[in-house]
């Protein structure tokens, strides 16, 4: 306990000489180089499908775990490149094979309404 009352010597680290940067930023000096962005991006050639290309932007769809596993299984089999493209194929197949002419008209009107809301 007597060790707690004794003052210990100040142990400072020897940090060496002060390091200064070679160049400093100032608003008057515009001589700094901007990083170059890669303007050329390699595009992979994908198989052309009869479906439309995916529009930019994504959203979340809630499905059961078993449905998710079934969709991922079909993608793993190579039926589509992604779950999104698989769902697009399934919707188009359903639309072309199971909807009546009147339902197809209603469906296209609903899609037009959704598209006009985005604008």
Question: Out of 7-16, 47-56, 109-118, which region has the weakest mean confidence (pLDDT)?
Answer: 47-56
DSSP 8-state code for residue 27 = T
Do 43 and 32 touch, CB atoms closer than 8 A? no
Q: What distance lies between CA 48 and its chain's CA centroid?
A: 23
Which of 7-11, 75-79, 103-107, 111-115 has the weakest average pLDDT? 7-11
Q: What's the pLDDT at 95?
A: 94
DSSP 56: S
What are the pLDDT digits (tens) for 39-98?
Answer: 433 343 444 444 455 456 888 999 999 999 999 999 999 999 999 999 999 999 999 999
Position 18 confidence tier, pLDDT thresholds 50, 70, 90: confident
Nearest-5° Cα angle at 114, 112 to 119:
95
Distance, in Å, from the CA atom of 112 to the CA atom of 105, rounded to the nearest integer, reads: 11
Q: 71: how many CB neighbours lie within 10 A of its CB?
A: 19
Which of residues 109 and 118 earns the better pLDDT score? 109
């Amino acid at each position: 306990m007597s060790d707690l009352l004794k003052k210990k010597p100040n142990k400072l680290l020897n940090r060496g000489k002060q390091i200064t940067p070679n160049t400093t930023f100032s608003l008057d000096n515009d001589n700094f180089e901007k990083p170059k962005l890669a303007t050329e991006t390699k595009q992979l050639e994908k198989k052309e499908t009869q479906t439309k290309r995916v529009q930019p932007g994504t959203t979340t769809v809630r499905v059961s775990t078993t449905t998710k596993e079934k969709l991922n299984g079909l993608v793993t089999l190579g039926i589509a490149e992604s779950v999104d493209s698989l769902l697009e194929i399934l919707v188009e197949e359903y639309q072309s094979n199971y909807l009546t002419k009147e339902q197809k008209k209603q469906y296209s009107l609903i899609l037009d309404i959704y598209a006009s809301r985005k604008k």
